[in-house]
Amino acid sequence: MSLAISELGHRKIPVGNFYMLFSRAWEIMIGALVSIYLREKSFPKSVDFSQIFSILGLGLVIFSILFFNESTPTPSLYTLLPTVGTALIIIFSVPGTFMHKILSKKFIVHLGLISYSAYLWHNPVLVFARHYFIEDLSNLFLIFLCLISLFFAHLSWKYIESPFRDKKQTSRKLIFKMTITGTIFFCSIGLITSFNDGFHSRIKGNIDPKTAWASELRSKCDSASIPCEYFKDEVTWASLGDSHMIEMTYALAEKLAQKNIGIQHNTYAGCKPELNNPKSQCSNWIEKVIKDLNQNEKIENVVISFRLTKYIYGEYIDNYPTLVDETSSKQKEKIFSDLSDIFNSLIKSGKKIYFIIQPPELPLPASKLIFWNKEDNFIKGVHRSWWLERRKYISQNLEIFSDKVEIIDPIDLFCDEDYCYINDESGYFYFDDHHLSTYGANKVIERYIFNNSKKQ
């Protein structure tokens, strides 16, 4: 049951699926069953039989290391490979097998002893390194950081973990005292940090770091089964798009609320403009939204935005400043054909359409550019010429719709003749490497849509 939940969960709620006990219980149960089996030893194992299955387990683990990556859904059926592989190694690595000889080496045994400490150390070491260094970390440097984690793991195992396990050195009373003291200490640090809003003074400059935040309704309203409507009851506006439309919707809602008008929020992160593909969840979602909007006579205006550069060319962040082009001409044509059908369908039902071209992408996440800013000034992102070249095909094709759709190009808001920037004197435009913050979205809405809507 738990495995079935994890397989369904990674398709529907990937973040929740990763953290929920229901979807991860089967992994724990595998370990529990292995423990029961080793205690009972009810199944006779010949050396030859154990040799085969212990090596099979090693193969499953190595396969997972080599071929799993950040896009591999976890937990899911894929996770059976490393978990079952580990179970096979533990059960069948009996004396006389190749795996037993390997795992009996003193160095490997010691790695096993410090493995939990290493697990606890490696995450903060890697996380702090990624935050501190502005460039991506090389594989060689990552190996170095892992070795540092092992060094700290050895120290904490020797001077903390081992003494705590020795009843002669550490009494239960002392353990409880240290646990309570540690809990109070870390909770106090957390509360102090929270009450001081993360100590803004640690960031150079006079700009409020909160301007680099995402919409507070991002997780609630994105890909919602029933569209969010806020902040007023008279809903005459609607949004449609991927995650790039989330902050735009929130910013527009704040402006429209001043006129007692509300907005309907329709976004689905990672979805390109796509129609007529029953196998695509994005296609089915967009078709449903369009149908609902067309039937809703109260909706008069629809604001649309997609991250077209990713869908047309591919991801750039690992290749910048090299221009990538990972899609075929046929795929590019299909995207704009579907976008045209989306426009035409909504226009046919009497809607006024706004299409916002995405803001310039950044060479690195905004947090890194902000942290490493040496001066209190405008922080540079990409070259304007690079951004114009990356979206050239998109700009040319959007011109076709200019007579029936109001095309909004915010490039002059973010860029001068040479560079595009991540901030102005009052706030930060982005909260990552390509999504606008609510501050940045407000700038776009105020300049290009809200002022125009006042005249209507």
Q: Within this chain, do residues 263 and 411 fall inside the same structural domain, yes or no?
A: yes
What was the pLDDT predicted at 455?
Answer: 43
Inside any domain, residue 48: yes
Say if CB 263 and CB 249 are below 8 A apart.
Answer: yes
**Are 411 and 267 in the same domain?**
yes
Give the angle 181-183-187 at the CA atoms, nearest 5°.
120
> What integer pLDDT is reported at residue 203 of this predicted model?
62
Distances (CA, A) of 92 to 33, 50, 59, 104: 14, 5, 13, 14
Q: Are residues 223 and 99 located together in one domain of the fold?
A: no
Q: How far apart are CA 367 and CA 213, in angstroms?
A: 10
Domain boundary among 84, 104, 124: 104
The pLDDT of residue 37 is 87
Do 306 and 439 have their domain in common? yes
- Clarify whether residues 223 and 95 are in a common domain: no
85 and 223: one domain? no
Per the domain annotation, does 286 fall within a domain? yes
pTM of the predicted protein model: 0.71
User: What is the CATH number for 277?
Assistant: 3.40.50.1110
pLDDT at position 376 is 59
Q: Is residue 26 part of a domain?
A: yes
**166 in any annotated domain:** no
- At 34, list the tokens: 């292995």
Answer with the one of 70, 104, 138 that is the final residue of a domain: 104
Is there a domain that residue 276 lies in?
yes
- Residue 424 to residues 126, 212, 216, 415: CA-CA distances in angstroms? 32, 12, 22, 11
Q: Which of 233, 228, 265, 226 is nearest to 248 (CA)?
A: 265
Number of domains observed in the structure of the chain: 2
131 within some domain: no
Structural domain range at position 74: 1-104
Residues 6+ apart with CB under 8 A from 28: none
Q: pLDDT value at position 14?
A: 81
Which of 104, 119, 136 terminates a domain? The answer is 104
pLDDT mean values, one per 10 residues, the chain (456 residues): 90 85 94 89 75 95 92 91 96 91 93 94 91 78 95 94 83 86 93 80 73 94 93 96 98 96 97 95 96 98 98 90 93 97 98 98 90 80 97 95 96 97 96 97 94 54
Residue with tokens 């090299």: 322
Distance CA 312, CA 152 (A): 46
Identify whether residues 97 and 225 lie together within a single domain.
Answer: no
Q: What is the pLDDT of residue 195?
A: 85
Strands 352-356 and 380-383, by their bridges, are unpaired
CA geometry: angle at 455 spanning 452 and 456, to 5°?
95
Residue 429 and residue 284 in one domain: yes
